[in-house]
Amino acid sequence: MVCESQFVRAMPGYGDVSTHAEVEPLVAVVPSLVEHILSSASRADASDVHFELGDRMMVRVRRDGMLRPAFAAPRHIGRLMMGRLRALGKIPLCRAGNAESSFSLHCDHAVVRVRLSLTAVVGGEKAVVRFLNHGAHLQLRQLGMLARDLDRYDRLIRSPGLVLIAGPAGSGKTTTLYASLERLAHPGVNVMSLEDPVEMTLPGVVQIGVDHGLTGFQSCLAAVMRQDPDVIAIGEIRDHDSAIAAVRAALTGRTTLASIHAEDGTGAAYRLTDLGIPHPLAGAAVVGAVSQRLVRTTCPACRGTGCARCGQTGYDGRTGVFEVLSLPPRLSGALAAGAPLEAARSIRMGLDQPSLSAAAEQAVTSGLTAWAEVSGLVEGGHDTR
């Protein structure tokens, strides 16, 4: 194994970038170099590692939602590093263009599952490695929901109908979905999921990988319905096929969970209509939604002033900020009748259910995070009460 003093000396903080002189002797140990970068990033609780090959190789690491430079090398070293990534993912060197794979990485006596995405770019190639284990085994009570929201959400996911988990990319939707499924899974409940792809295996959950090229969500759902499910999960609603599968599952009276890209809870329900679901079906299927964002938490060692532990950022780790929305008849009726989204949001404003911005403000008041982390949620139109 390459010793850390040979490169990326400040790996946990991602402050220094290795020089040409430091990397040149490592040609013969590129496999160990790549695996050490990945292991160091995983150990630092990073979510993604970007390998960008152009005139030179640049490695950047995303931690706490922030992407920072971690390592640099000459182009010929970078080509060998890309080759090693392909070997780990069993992607042939001769295969050009886009490619995806997954593999396991051994780190500190633990097995870490990762997903590898490769794409050709102008002047070279880019690879992104995502750690699938990152935050995936958190329990619901560890995600950051306030006690009142957690209680409402726990009741919601035990109700018949469709519960949507909404937010932008990178907001922790998959973590919330998996934590919800683990909460529901026990020997007396048959929990089944349709995912594209299956990011990690969950004990007590029957998971099915959906291949759009061969089957699709609707075809897989037909098979699932013959398996006597109590709870059905759709990994992500991203098109009409996955949307109609989620709605059909919910309309059978099963508890159905699905993640979806949307701004807030009300918008999540209306997003289904954008994907071709008729308003009456969407109104009948959706019983609730949780909208979420991830915010960086104040470093407990320095209370936000910056120190060695947090890399002088003032933050260490992230937590979720949540809006849990249970759709009352008036709101689901507006959706079913095809009322405009803004009209539905006006109805939501009158509900005695805390908004996303209210949860964000409380996170600041409690000292959990800083105003700079949540100001966009409060000032950007999310104050729906």
SS3 content of the chain, % helix, strand, coil (to 5): 35, 30, 35
Task: Please report the pLDDT score of residue 136 as a whole number.
Answer: 56
Helix (H, G, I), strand (E, B) or coil at 305: coil
- Calculate Rg over the CA atoms of the chain: 22
Q: What is the pLDDT of residue 24?
A: 53
pLDDT for 15 equals 37
Question: Which CATH number goes with the domain that contains 311?
Answer: 3.40.50.300
State residue 4's pLDDT score.
34
Burial class (CB in 10 A: 0-12, 13-18, 19+), 356: buried
Do 28 and 62 belong to one domain?
A: yes
Q: Which residues of the chain have pLDDT under 50?
A: 1-20, 23, 383-385
**Both 117 and 144 in a single domain?**
no
pLDDT score of 359: 93
Is 385 a member of any domain? no
Q: What is the pLDDT of residue 384?
A: 41
- Of 80, 102, 131, the position where a domain reaches its end is 131
Residue 356 C-alpha from the chain's centroid: 18
172 touches 294 (CB < 8 A): yes
Tell me if 181 sits within 8 A of 257, measured CB to CB.
yes
Per the structure, the complete domain to which residue 165 belongs is given by: 140-379
Q: Are 138 and 179 in contact (CB under 8 A)?
A: yes
- The structure tokens 């507006």 sit at 334
Residue 220 within a domain:
yes
Span 118-137, pLDDT tens digits: 999 999 999 999 998 765 56
CA 138 to CA 16: how far, in whole Å? 31
Count of domains observed in the chain: 2
Residues 319, 269 share a domain = yes
Identify which of 196, 198, 199 has the alpha carbon closest to the alpha carbon of residue 218.
Answer: 196
